[in-house]
Amino acid sequence: MSFKNALILLSLFSISNIWAQRIINYGIYDRPTSDAQAEALANIFAQRHPQRDFFYTDVRDDLDVETILANATGSPYVDTTFKRCRIIYQNEETGYAFYRFNAHNNEIELRETPTAAKTFSLNIDAKISIKDLETGEILMLKRVEEKDQVSNAYVNLLESINGLTLFRRTYIKFTEGREATSSMVVATKDKFTVYEDYFLEREDSKTLVLLKQNKKSIYELFEEDKAAIKTLIKTKSLDVKKESDLITLIQEISKFGV
Protein backbone atom coordinates (compact mmCIF):
# COMPACT_ATOMS: atom_id res chain seq x y z
CA MET A 1 0.00 0.00 0.00
CA SER A 2 1.37 3.45 -0.87
CA PHE A 3 2.00 6.02 1.84
CA LYS A 4 -0.79 8.16 0.46
CA ASN A 5 -3.26 5.30 0.70
CA ALA A 6 -2.10 4.48 4.21
CA LEU A 7 -3.34 7.84 5.45
CA ILE A 8 -6.74 7.20 6.96
CA LEU A 9 -9.17 10.08 7.14
CA LEU A 10 -10.74 10.21 10.59
CA SER A 11 -12.82 13.38 10.51
CA LEU A 12 -13.58 16.58 8.68
CA PHE A 13 -14.40 19.89 10.22
CA SER A 14 -15.46 23.23 8.86
CA ILE A 15 -14.24 26.60 10.10
CA SER A 16 -15.57 29.70 8.38
CA ASN A 17 -16.52 27.54 5.36
CA ILE A 18 -12.87 26.43 4.92
CA TRP A 19 -12.50 22.63 5.13
CA ALA A 20 -9.39 21.02 6.63
CA GLN A 21 -8.51 17.32 6.94
CA ARG A 22 -7.41 15.52 10.06
CA ILE A 23 -5.47 12.41 9.13
CA ILE A 24 -3.45 9.73 10.86
CA ASN A 25 -1.22 6.94 9.59
CA TYR A 26 -1.87 3.66 11.41
CA GLY A 27 1.32 2.27 9.92
CA ILE A 28 3.15 4.57 12.35
CA TYR A 29 0.68 5.08 15.20
CA ASP A 30 -0.89 2.61 17.57
CA ARG A 31 -4.43 1.83 16.44
CA PRO A 32 -6.99 3.38 18.83
CA THR A 33 -8.62 0.86 21.12
CA SER A 34 -11.83 2.85 21.58
CA ASP A 35 -13.93 5.49 19.83
CA ALA A 36 -12.81 8.03 22.44
CA GLN A 37 -9.15 7.36 21.75
CA ALA A 38 -9.75 7.51 18.01
CA GLU A 39 -11.30 10.95 18.43
CA ALA A 40 -8.39 12.02 20.64
CA LEU A 41 -5.88 11.06 17.97
CA ALA A 42 -7.97 12.68 15.27
CA ASN A 43 -7.79 15.96 17.17
CA ILE A 44 -4.03 15.82 17.66
CA PHE A 45 -3.18 16.91 14.12
CA ALA A 46 -4.44 20.17 12.66
CA GLN A 47 -3.13 20.80 9.17
CA ARG A 48 -1.06 23.98 9.11
CA HIS A 49 -2.27 27.04 7.30
CA PRO A 50 -0.09 30.13 6.63
CA GLN A 51 -2.72 32.41 8.15
CA ARG A 52 -2.39 30.57 11.44
CA ASP A 53 1.41 30.52 11.50
CA PHE A 54 2.22 33.58 13.60
CA PHE A 55 5.95 33.06 13.11
CA TYR A 56 5.67 34.76 9.73
CA THR A 57 4.01 37.78 11.29
CA ASP A 58 6.16 37.98 14.42
CA VAL A 59 9.42 37.99 12.50
CA ARG A 60 8.81 39.77 9.19
CA ASP A 61 5.99 40.01 6.73
CA ASP A 62 8.17 40.71 3.68
CA LEU A 63 10.45 37.65 3.81
CA ASP A 64 9.68 33.97 3.81
CA VAL A 65 10.77 31.98 6.82
CA GLU A 66 13.61 30.15 5.05
CA THR A 67 15.24 33.44 4.10
CA ILE A 68 14.93 34.67 7.67
CA LEU A 69 16.52 31.55 9.11
CA ALA A 70 19.34 31.58 6.57
CA ASN A 71 20.29 35.14 7.49
CA ALA A 72 19.79 34.98 11.23
CA THR A 73 21.99 33.85 14.11
CA GLY A 74 20.40 31.09 16.14
CA SER A 75 17.06 29.42 15.54
CA PRO A 76 13.43 29.69 16.67
CA TYR A 77 13.59 25.97 17.52
CA VAL A 78 14.96 24.43 20.71
CA ASP A 79 16.20 21.64 18.44
CA THR A 80 15.88 21.93 14.67
CA THR A 81 15.63 18.16 14.22
CA PHE A 82 12.35 16.28 14.58
CA LYS A 83 12.70 14.01 17.61
CA ARG A 84 10.69 10.88 18.32
CA CYS A 85 7.97 11.39 20.91
CA ARG A 86 4.93 9.81 22.48
CA ILE A 87 1.65 11.70 22.41
CA ILE A 88 -0.20 11.82 25.72
CA TYR A 89 -3.91 12.53 25.85
CA GLN A 90 -5.56 13.06 29.25
CA ASN A 91 -2.60 11.38 30.98
CA GLU A 92 -2.86 8.32 28.71
CA GLU A 93 -0.01 7.54 26.32
CA THR A 94 -1.34 7.07 22.78
CA GLY A 95 0.51 7.24 19.45
CA TYR A 96 4.05 8.05 18.36
CA ALA A 97 5.20 10.99 16.26
CA PHE A 98 8.22 13.20 15.61
CA TYR A 99 8.25 16.72 17.02
CA ARG A 100 10.21 19.91 17.33
CA PHE A 101 9.39 22.88 19.54
CA ASN A 102 9.22 26.39 18.09
CA ALA A 103 9.95 28.29 21.31
CA HIS A 104 9.73 31.63 19.52
CA ASN A 105 6.14 30.98 18.49
CA ASN A 106 5.22 28.69 21.43
CA GLU A 107 4.22 25.98 18.94
CA ILE A 108 4.83 22.25 18.72
CA GLU A 109 5.34 21.01 15.16
CA LEU A 110 4.70 17.36 14.32
CA ARG A 111 5.59 15.02 11.48
CA GLU A 112 4.72 11.41 10.90
CA THR A 113 8.36 10.74 9.97
CA PRO A 114 11.40 13.02 10.41
CA THR A 115 11.55 13.71 6.66
CA ALA A 116 7.83 13.80 5.89
CA ALA A 117 6.72 16.51 3.46
CA LYS A 118 3.82 17.66 5.60
CA THR A 119 4.28 19.41 8.92
CA PHE A 120 1.41 19.73 11.37
CA SER A 121 0.87 21.97 14.36
CA LEU A 122 -0.23 20.39 17.62
CA ASN A 123 -3.68 21.54 18.65
CA ILE A 124 -3.73 24.07 21.47
CA ASP A 125 -5.23 21.83 24.12
CA ALA A 126 -4.09 21.40 27.72
CA LYS A 127 -5.21 17.75 27.61
CA ILE A 128 -2.53 16.95 24.99
CA SER A 129 1.15 16.76 25.89
CA ILE A 130 4.35 15.39 24.37
CA LYS A 131 6.82 12.94 25.90
CA ASP A 132 10.32 13.21 24.45
CA LEU A 133 11.53 9.63 24.08
CA GLU A 134 15.17 10.72 24.12
CA THR A 135 15.15 12.75 27.35
CA GLY A 136 11.99 11.38 28.96
CA GLU A 137 10.78 14.93 29.63
CA ILE A 138 7.14 15.85 29.16
CA LEU A 139 6.22 19.08 27.35
CA MET A 140 2.76 20.34 28.29
CA LEU A 141 0.57 23.40 27.97
CA LYS A 142 0.02 25.36 31.19
CA ARG A 143 -1.35 28.71 32.32
CA VAL A 144 1.56 30.76 33.64
CA GLU A 145 1.42 33.94 35.72
CA GLU A 146 4.15 36.53 35.23
CA LYS A 147 4.13 40.24 36.11
CA ASP A 148 0.37 40.09 36.82
CA GLN A 149 -0.20 38.67 33.32
CA VAL A 150 -1.59 35.18 32.68
CA SER A 151 -0.89 33.36 29.43
CA ASN A 152 -0.63 29.84 28.01
CA ALA A 153 2.86 28.44 27.52
CA TYR A 154 4.51 25.10 26.84
CA VAL A 155 6.66 24.02 29.77
CA ASN A 156 8.81 20.99 30.60
CA LEU A 157 7.87 18.99 33.70
CA LEU A 158 10.95 18.61 35.91
CA GLU A 159 9.67 17.39 39.27
CA SER A 160 6.34 16.69 40.94
CA ILE A 161 6.32 15.69 44.58
CA ASN A 162 3.99 16.13 47.56
CA GLY A 163 1.85 18.83 45.95
CA LEU A 164 4.74 20.84 44.48
CA THR A 165 5.55 20.72 40.77
CA LEU A 166 8.51 22.41 39.10
CA PHE A 167 8.53 23.36 35.41
CA ARG A 168 11.06 24.84 33.01
CA ARG A 169 9.93 27.22 30.29
CA THR A 170 12.15 27.75 27.27
CA TYR A 171 11.38 30.73 25.08
CA ILE A 172 13.24 32.32 22.21
CA LYS A 173 13.18 36.00 21.33
CA PHE A 174 13.87 37.48 17.92
CA THR A 175 15.93 40.64 17.54
CA GLU A 176 16.01 42.32 14.16
CA GLY A 177 19.46 43.26 12.91
CA ARG A 178 20.44 46.64 11.60
CA GLU A 179 22.24 47.81 8.51
CA ALA A 180 25.48 49.75 8.55
CA THR A 181 24.07 53.15 7.56
CA SER A 182 27.48 54.76 7.97
CA SER A 183 31.06 53.89 8.80
CA MET A 184 30.28 54.68 12.42
CA VAL A 185 27.49 52.09 12.66
CA VAL A 186 28.33 48.40 12.89
CA ALA A 187 25.93 46.11 11.02
CA THR A 188 24.30 43.33 13.04
CA LYS A 189 22.45 40.21 11.93
CA ASP A 190 18.96 39.11 12.89
CA LYS A 191 19.28 37.03 16.03
CA PHE A 192 17.30 34.42 17.95
CA THR A 193 18.20 34.30 21.65
CA VAL A 194 17.28 31.44 24.00
CA TYR A 195 15.99 32.10 27.52
CA GLU A 196 14.91 29.77 30.30
CA ASP A 197 12.96 30.37 33.47
CA TYR A 198 11.21 28.26 36.06
CA PHE A 199 7.66 28.05 37.37
CA LEU A 200 6.13 26.44 40.43
CA GLU A 201 2.69 24.88 40.73
CA ARG A 202 1.08 24.15 44.07
CA GLU A 203 -1.59 21.53 44.50
CA ASP A 204 -5.02 22.72 43.31
CA SER A 205 -3.60 25.96 41.89
CA LYS A 206 -4.91 27.14 38.52
CA THR A 207 -1.75 28.86 37.29
CA LEU A 208 2.00 28.45 37.56
CA VAL A 209 3.94 31.08 39.51
CA LEU A 210 7.33 32.35 38.33
CA LEU A 211 10.13 31.01 40.50
CA LYS A 212 13.04 33.40 40.17
CA GLN A 213 16.44 31.84 40.65
CA ASN A 214 17.47 33.88 43.65
CA LYS A 215 17.15 33.26 47.37
CA LYS A 216 14.97 36.30 48.05
CA SER A 217 12.31 35.15 45.58
CA ILE A 218 12.31 31.64 47.03
CA TYR A 219 11.98 32.95 50.60
CA GLU A 220 8.99 35.06 49.52
CA LEU A 221 7.23 32.04 48.04
CA PHE A 222 7.80 29.99 51.18
CA GLU A 223 7.72 32.63 53.93
CA GLU A 224 6.67 30.23 56.69
CA ASP A 225 9.68 28.00 55.99
CA LYS A 226 12.20 30.76 55.31
CA ALA A 227 14.52 29.85 58.19
CA ALA A 228 14.49 26.14 57.34
CA ILE A 229 15.17 26.86 53.67
CA LYS A 230 18.10 29.12 54.56
CA THR A 231 19.61 26.30 56.60
CA LEU A 232 18.88 23.78 53.84
CA ILE A 233 20.60 25.85 51.15
CA LYS A 234 23.63 26.38 53.40
CA THR A 235 24.08 22.81 54.65
CA LYS A 236 23.64 21.27 51.17
CA SER A 237 25.61 24.05 49.41
CA LEU A 238 22.81 24.54 46.89
CA ASP A 239 23.20 27.00 44.03
CA VAL A 240 19.63 27.96 43.05
CA LYS A 241 20.86 29.18 39.67
CA LYS A 242 21.62 25.57 38.74
CA GLU A 243 18.64 23.53 37.55
CA SER A 244 19.79 20.35 39.31
CA ASP A 245 20.14 22.19 42.63
CA LEU A 246 16.78 23.89 42.14
CA ILE A 247 15.16 20.48 41.68
CA THR A 248 16.89 19.23 44.85
CA LEU A 249 15.64 22.27 46.75
CA ILE A 250 12.02 21.66 45.70
CA GLN A 251 12.34 18.00 46.68
CA GLU A 252 13.54 19.01 50.14
CA ILE A 253 10.95 21.78 50.58
CA SER A 254 8.19 19.29 49.72
CA LYS A 255 9.10 17.38 52.90
CA PHE A 256 8.01 20.38 54.97
CA GLY A 257 4.40 19.62 54.04
CA VAL A 258 3.79 22.98 52.32
Q: What is the pLDDT of residues 2-58, one digit of tens each?
A: 322 222 222 222 222 222 223 233 233 344 455 555 454 544 555 444 444 433 333
CB atoms closer than 10 angstroms to residue 203: 10
3-state secondary structure of 58: helix
pTM recorded for the entire structure: 0.74
The residue-averaged pLDDT of 65-83 equals: 86
Q: Give me the percent of the chain exceeding a pLDDT of 90.
A: 47
In this structure, the strands spanning 72-73 and 190-202 are: parallel
Per-residue pLDDT at 159: 96
Q: Is the pLDDT of residue 65 over 90?
A: no
Contacts of residue 87, Cβ cutoff 8 Å, sequence gap at least 6: 41, 44, 93, 94, 95, 96, 97, 128, 129, 130, 131
Per-residue pLDDT at 157: 97
Distance from chain centroid for Cα 183: 42
From residue 175, how far is each of 42, 62, 83, 126, 194 by CA, in Å?
37, 16, 27, 30, 11
Per-residue pLDDT at 68: 74
pLDDT in tens, 107-127: 998 888 899 888 888 888 898
The residue-averaged pLDDT of 64-93 equals: 86
Per-residue pLDDT at 122: 84
Compute φ and ψ for 232, nearest 5 degrees.
Answer: -60, -50
Tally the C-alpha atoms within 13 A of residue 126's C-alpha that lie toward its C-beta.
8
Distance between CA 209 and CA 165 in Å, rounded?
A: 11
pLDDT in tens, 130-141: 999 999 999 999
Amino acid at 102: N
Per-residue pLDDT at 36: 52
Q: Domain boundaries in the chain? A: 3-157
Compute φ and ψ for 88, nearest 5 degrees.
Answer: -110, 130
pLDDT in tens, 155-192: 999 999 999 999 999 999 988 887 777 777 778 888 99
Contacts of residue 194, Cβ cutoff 8 Å, sequence gap at least 6: 74, 78, 103, 170, 171, 172
Per-residue pLDDT at 46: 52
Whether residue 240 contacts residue 215, with contact meaning beta carbons closer than 8 Å, is answered with: yes
pLDDT in tens, 213-237: 999 999 999 999 999 999 999 999 9
Per-residue pLDDT at 102: 92
